[in-house]
Structure 1
Amino acid sequence: MQNTDRYVVGIDLGGTKIAAALFNADGEILNRERMETAGLCTAKEVVQRMEDMIHSVSKGYPISGVGLASPGMVNSRDGIVLQGTNLPEWSNVPLKQWVGEALGVDVEVVNDANAAAWGEYIRGAGAGSGNMVYVTFSTGIGAGIVLDGKLLLGANSFAGELGHNIVEPDGPACICGNNGCWEMYASGTAIREAALELMESRPSMIRELAEASGEAVSARHVFEAHKQADPVAIQVVDRTVHYMALGLANAIHTFNPDRIVIGGGVSKAGDQLFPALRAETDKLVMKAYRGTYEIVPAGLRDDVGLIGAAALFHA
């Protein structure tokens, strides 16, 4: 084994699972593990499991760093998770300090959306761009911004919360405490809610598709029905595309990216989504911005958090 290589471990901490992987200097995964977090009661217990996984995936390799992607509000400069998501007692957890002291290596901690953005920029669909906006349309909307080749953190490491930009001041209440946030109109959850509301007064095959799959109505069923020209699905998708484009236009006017990378479950709609999204965004941006950016699907799929966390050391 060559000890001159630069091995790092990436950790993707989720609300229900932990994924860990060992990477070489070329960004290739050499070993990986995954475990559920169910049954772990404290932050200390979760971190201990993370440390055990790091030891396991890196056994026999001299690691030089650990990159950690965490959900929630993260102070990346100090490596502290200020407020976690779906994890017990996950508040003001000094991840950088705990893991660094336990393993004796450099540790970097970022919000999971920022990790995904950095992963796409370094290894995925954002590679080769100079200024990139990454947006994931899923249960909510997450985002990360890379400007002039650097991940934008902001004064408190909170930059990139585009999902909570307000697009309709009189809109529905969001979990953040405001009304009319972008994710209330353009997320996978918003697609589902819009479909359910319309189906209260109009027939649609969306419910039939959901029942046939044994699942609750979701954005996936809406796009399946849209493919079959279901009128309700067409209306929901058209509305969603408009609001997605509205938020992207705001991001384009703010950050002037040359590339926008779209991830998350909604992006799996592929050609049902992207041509219309590009056209609608082009309608909404100021004329000078047209032709200065491209909108592309994400390239890294489920490993994006792991790759982005590790890439904090490979950039």
Structure 2
Amino acid sequence: MSVILGIDIGGSGIKGAPVDTDTGQLLSERYRIPTPEGARPADVQGVVRQLVDHFALPGAVGVTFPGIVQHGHILSAANVDKAWIGLDADAAFTGATGRDIHLINDADAAGLAEAKFGAGAGVKGTVLVLTFGTGIGSALILDGVLVPNTELGHLWLRDKHAETWASDRARERDDLNWKQWAKRVSSYLQHLELLFSPDLFIIGGGVSKRPERWLPALTVSRSRVVPAQLQNEAGIIGAAMMAAQAVPGVAEPAVPASSRPAKPAAAVTAPMKSAAVKKAASKPATPRK
């Protein structure tokens, strides 16, 4: 059994737990500390250090971050202080905690976890994990391998910026009912189908807790659509998985489909309607704020 601490940095809270990376199970209750106001680097590093000290687990630590992470450096910052941009965060967190820290984009972490231990377990081919919340996070998985930092929430649908128009925040802001919101999401998914032809869409974020409200109203042409299963644990699990891959001698285990627990039948599939899909012209992606 490989046990690694996973930490998930969110806009309102920073939470962590030790993870058995062989099974994807959390081995204790999550411990959560509110995100410091402004989410400045030094303050967030201090909270991560508190979580590391709380669990006192030796070895590497995986940490999610709400922005683009490339080779440990932060290239964008969403809902956190702009001082993060350009920072070698792997080195900064390692210095602050005394542990070998490995960062990963938050949506990528959730995608890794869902693809291996959640709704995408055992699925071959292309899987797109999308998290609907304040924005739209994305993770592209091909045969279990992550293509990092896809940032597909920043695509344009004609004159619509995807996450500004179809996120869960947009649903609340525009006072949409679930059917109206699902119509927007359907347009977005149809555009992604034209670009990537995924075998499976996994829809995460807070909306995944009540899929019966919106899933039957989604319309796609050829892909399956299911709700995410790991919910608030996905980021923690994915962060630990990524750290396991990065540590020499601690290979991320391959879990055969036959050894995974059966998934609940409640994973609803969206109707496969063959209505014509209008191809939306894409504009260049805008940088994440």
The residue that corresponds to 1:38 in the other structure is 36
The residue that corresponds to 1:56 in the other structure is 54
The residue that corresponds to 1:208 in the other structure is none
The residue that corresponds to 2:278 in the other structure is none
Q: 1:140 to 1:42 in 2, by over 3 A?
A: closer
Q: Establish whether residue 276 from structure 1 lines up as the match of residue 269 from structure 2.
A: no
- Whole-Å separation in 2 of the counterparts to 1:27 and 1:140: 26
Question: 1:52 Cα shift?
Answer: 2.8
Question: AA paired with 1:184?
Answer: T
Q: 1:53 to 1:144 in 2, by over 3 A?
A: same
* TM-score between both structures, scaled by the size of structure 1: 0.69
The residue that corresponds to 2:156 in the other structure is 166
- Whole-Å separation in 2 of the counterparts to 1:95 and 1:51: 13
Work out whether residues 267 and 273 of structure 1, in 8 Å CA contact, stay in contact via their aligned partners in 2: no
User: Of residues 173, 183, 207 in structure 1, which corresponds to 2:163?
Assistant: 183
Larger radius of gyration: 1
Q: Establish whether residue 242 from structure 1 lines up as the match of residue 183 from structure 2.
A: yes
Secondary structure of 1:83's partner? coil
Q: 1:37 to 1:241 in 2, by over 3 A?
A: closer
CA offsets 1:108-134 (integer angstroms, 9 cap, x no match) = 211111111111111111111122101
Q: 1:41 to 1:18 in 2, by over 3 A?
A: closer
Secondary structure of 2:86's partner? strand
- 118-127 or 97-106, which deviates more: 97-106
Question: 1:138 Cα shift?
Answer: 1.8
Work out whether residues 68 and 109 of structure 1, in 8 Å CA contact, stay in contact via their aligned partners in 2: yes
- Whole-Å separation in 2 of the counterparts to 1:193 and 1:146: 31
Q: Establish whether residue 143 from structure 1 lines up as the match of residue 73 from structure 2.
A: no
The residue that corresponds to 2:117 in the other structure is 123
Moved >6 Å (runs of 4+)? none
CA offsets 1:111-163 (integer angstroms, 9 cap, x no match) = 1111111111111111111221011122221111101321102xxxx32x222
Matches within 5 A, 1:1-315: 5-25=1-21, 26-31=23-28, 32-38=30-36, 42-57=40-55, 59=56, 61-63=57-59, 65-75=60-70, 78-88=71-81, 89-101=83-95, 105-130=99-124, 131-153=126-148, 158-159=149-150, 161-169=151-159, 180-195=160-175, 222-223=177-178, 237-238=179-180, 240-277=181-218, 280-282=219-221, 290=222, 293-312=223-242, 313=244, 314-315=252-253
Q: CA RMSD, aligned part only?
A: 2.3
Question: 1:41 Cα shift?
Answer: 7.0
- Whole-Å separation in 2 of the counterparts to 1:245 and 1:120: 21
- Whole-Å separation in 2 of the counterparts to 1:138 and 1:102: 30
Q: 1:245 to 1:38 in 2, by over 3 A?
A: same
Work out whether residues 36 and 44 of structure 2, in 8 Å CA contact, stay in contact via their aligned partners in 1: no
Q: 1:190 to 1:307 in 2, by over 3 A?
A: same
* TM-score between both structures, scaled by the size of structure 2: 0.75
The count of corresponding residues between Structure 1 and Structure 2 is 241
Which of the pair is proportionally richer in helix?
A: 1
Q: 1:124 to 1:190 in 2, by over 3 A?
A: same
- Whole-Å separation in 1 of the counterparts to 2:130 and 2:123: 15
Q: 1:268 to 1:168 in 2, by over 3 A?
A: farther
Q: 1:18 to 1:145 in 2, by over 3 A?
A: same
Work out whether residues 157 and 188 of structure 2, in 8 Å CA contact, stay in contact via their aligned partners in 1: yes
Gaps of 5+ in 1: 170-179, 196-218, 224-236, 283-289
Work out whether residues 182 and 243 of structure 1, in 8 Å CA contact, stay in contact via their aligned partners in 2: no
CA offsets 1:75-98 (integer angstroms, 9 cap, x no match) = 2xx211233233333332322112
Identical-pair percentage? 33
